[in-house]
Structure 1
């Protein structure tokens, strides 16, 4: 995967695995990045040299711009649509089933699928500038695949607010108060110091105890393999609508 098409990299240091994803368009998530990210999370979960995982994106701009509009507008049949949205399902299920605790680092604004990644973290740190938005309804799709992960963290009322109010940003303080973020910081330095401290402590903890804790934390999500596939099918149908095609064309022509 060339850098111009994005990248997913894993580094291991002192039993801490750091997975970094990147795309030149705001760390957006095309299908290839999604599948590589899911595969890397799964492989890291099977690596005995890793005791805790950190997921982050590159740069100092957006943490994640969500789904790739270039790929969305190119979808012209249901199977391709479902396949694209299954990429998000694969990432969330990889995070859910990974036996290692996962810390997510959110350094900037995040949209759609990026909010899902933040929600699927077992502990999520963010900067104060890390506003969030579930913009899917505005596109004519709806946050169907990421919905279970977000609702699990923030509850149905807050998830309803995010998913219905699809054109407005919610700030990091709101995300903290509603449980999406666990801690927020005023600078990248403070953010990274806190992540390093927690990751280092977890790297010294019992792998078996953390594995069992992870299973307890995710109890009740055993049906997500099927559930998220069904949600991908809904999005795969809706993305074919003229509403969605026209919205994306107008957005890209701004």
Structure 2
């Protein structure tokens, strides 16, 4: 499928989705959010895709925020709808995606851009990356999950400070805050992300999907994460991947998981 605002490339079962609006520093508008939803939906159904890497085009920005020109005249009702639709179509969809999603954060990740990076399962940053949620400087708050995911990652106090000051932190501070897992040189970012993806793909894709579900359950209101873990653990015993993994271990050979 062809898109106006994103690029796709698949290589060795790794799908790289690049947000490609360089003239807008890859800012998210409604069309881009819809295209990203469609791309992830296709990736979910495509057995060739084992891991997704999401990044931005160019060297300046991952995503520099939402496209403010689209909603500057919205009413409260329209604003609420904007947040609800965006969370459903993209941010929550990515967070609960059954295949690993790695955000390769190149440059600015601000507002909706940081919210998208936080929706990914983990983040790798280039050494020139800068991150923040500056929404209160516009008289609004983060609306794509930022007030929920940032405290989960960096703690309540740091999240409060970052959101209240509308300030940015650099890549090394983000690493210190546990907002990102790794910081690498910009020209090494994609290769480094692919290296981690390669390690992931050596393991059972079925088990990884179950682990994503169980980990996420801990952050859902009214859901017992331990119960989800127990259920997913039990289901694992009925998979072909479990049979292959245990057989390979017992026979001292490398597992060749069928992904079923």
- Greater radius of gyration (CA): 2
Q: Does 1:147 align with 2:126?
A: no
* Number of residue pairs the alignment of both structures matches: 219
Task: Kindly state the Cα deviation for residue 54 of structure 1 after the two structures are TM-superposed.
Answer: 0.6
CA displacement 1:141-196 (0-9 Å, x = unmatched) = 11243221222211211111110011x221111111111110001x2222222112
* TM-score (ref. length: structure 1): 0.79
Higher RCO (Cα < 8 Å, 6 or more apart): 1
Correspondences of 1:189-200 after superposition (within 5 Å): 189-200=187-198
Task: Kindly state the Cα deviation for residue 88 of structure 1 after the two structures are TM-superposed.
Answer: 3.3
In structure 2, the residue corresponding to 1:129 is in which secondary structure? coil
Q: 1-side partners of 2:81 and 2:36: how far apart?
A: 15
The 3 A distance-change label for structure 1 pair 92 and 134 is same
**CA-based RMSD:** 2.2
The 3 A distance-change label for structure 1 pair 57 and 192 is same
Residue 10 of structure 2 corresponds to: 12
Task: Kindly state the Cα deviation for residue 87 of structure 1 after the two structures are TM-superposed.
Answer: 4.5
The 3 A distance-change label for structure 1 pair 22 and 218 is same
CA displacement 1:44-63 (0-9 Å, x = unmatched) = 12321111111111111121
Residue 241 of structure 1 corresponds to: none
The 3 A distance-change label for structure 1 pair 11 and 223 is farther
Q: 1-side partners of 2:2 and 2:210: how far apart?
A: 38
Uncovered stretches (5+) of structure 2, i.e. residues with no partner: 223-260
Task: Kindly state the Cα deviation for residue 223 of structure 1 after the two structures are TM-superposed.
Answer: 5.4
In structure 1, the residue corresponding to 2:114 is in which secondary structure? helix
CA displacement 1:116-136 (0-9 Å, x = unmatched) = 112122121101111112111
In structure 1, the residue corresponding to 2:24 is in which secondary structure? coil
* TM-score (ref. length: structure 2): 0.77
